[in-house]
Amino acid sequence: MSHAPASAPPDSGAPRRGRPGYDRETLLAVCVEVFNVHGYDATSMGTLSKHLGISKSAIYHHVESKEEILEQALNRALDALEEVLAAAERTEAPAVQRLEQVIRGTVHVLVEQMPYVTLLLRLRGNSEVETRALERRRTVTRRVGALIEQAQAEGDLRRDLSGRSASRLLLGMINSIVDWYRPDPDKPDDGLADTVVALAFSGLRAP
């Protein structure tokens, strides 16, 4: 019923579970790429079947619906972003240091999980899965805003900007990375997080 398609990656090193053909991880990755190119709404299970090179019933062996694939993909992005915030909130450091930790961690998540975060950031839909994901995303934004306000209260950040606008603009700057940044495989750490931190805290002006 399911066959390893000609276009499958040669050997990603990921463990293959269940039937031969796609493991769940690779299936998810391919589906997310298709969603990002064609848009989630415009992608049917038939489109996914064509791109995966396996039958629809082989896909249904892994997942119950297209929406389940979306949910798993969005969870991957949101779990990673929330873990960045949770890790920072667990420390006792001043808020400004925790904010820097969040900025660096978020940049890394965006680069590491780029297709999943791209899917999240382009979400516009109204299904229950999408509404839930957008609400989790809003909560992340609010937690960054709260961290900025705490760092303002501690005297480390300027107080003439609203925490809400500042967090929206800061996250807007960070989120734009998925639109233009393509990591160089030979230089996985090219200082992107340093650049974002420098801009966010000190701006463009020469000291």
Q: Is 95 in the site for a second copy (CB under 8 A)?
A: no
Stretch that binds a second copy, among 5-13, 48-56, 64-72, 176-184 (CB under 8 A): 176-184
Q: Check if the beta carbon of residue 176 is closer than 8 Å to that of residue 111.
A: no
Residue placing its CB nearer to a second copy in the complex, 9 or 39: 39
Q: Is 46 in the site for a second copy (CB under 8 A)?
A: no
Q: Length of the chain, please?
A: 207
Angstrom distance (rounded) from CA 69 to CA 191: 33
Q: Check if the beta carbon of residue 84 is closer than 8 Å to that of residue 98.
A: no
In whole angstroms, the minimum distance from the beta carbon of 28 to a second copy comes to 21
Q: Is 168 in the site for a second copy (CB under 8 A)?
A: yes
Residue placing its CB nearer to a second copy in the complex, 8 or 134: 134
Q: Classify residue 45 as exposed, middle or buried by CB count within 10 Å of its CB (0-12, 13-18, 19+).
A: middle
Residue placing its CB nearer to a second copy in the complex, 23 or 181: 181
In whole angstroms, the minimum distance from the beta carbon of 128 to a second copy comes to 19
140: Cβ contacts below 8 Å, ≥ 6 apart: 78, 81, 82, 85
Place of tokens 């667990």: 90
Angstrom distance (rounded) from CA 109 to CA 25: 17
Q: Check if the beta carbon of residue 76 is closer than 8 Å to that of residue 83.
A: no
Per-residue binding string, a second copy, 6-45, x by CB under 8 A, is -------------------------------x-x-xx---
Residue placing its CB nearer to a second copy in the complex, 40 or 116: 40
Tokens of 37: 């190119």
Residue placing its CB nearer to a second copy in the complex, 57 or 176: 176
| Footprint of a second copy (CB under 8 A) | 37, 39, 41-42, 96, 122, 124, 148, 151, 155-162, 165-166, 168-177, 179-181, 192, 195-196, 198-207
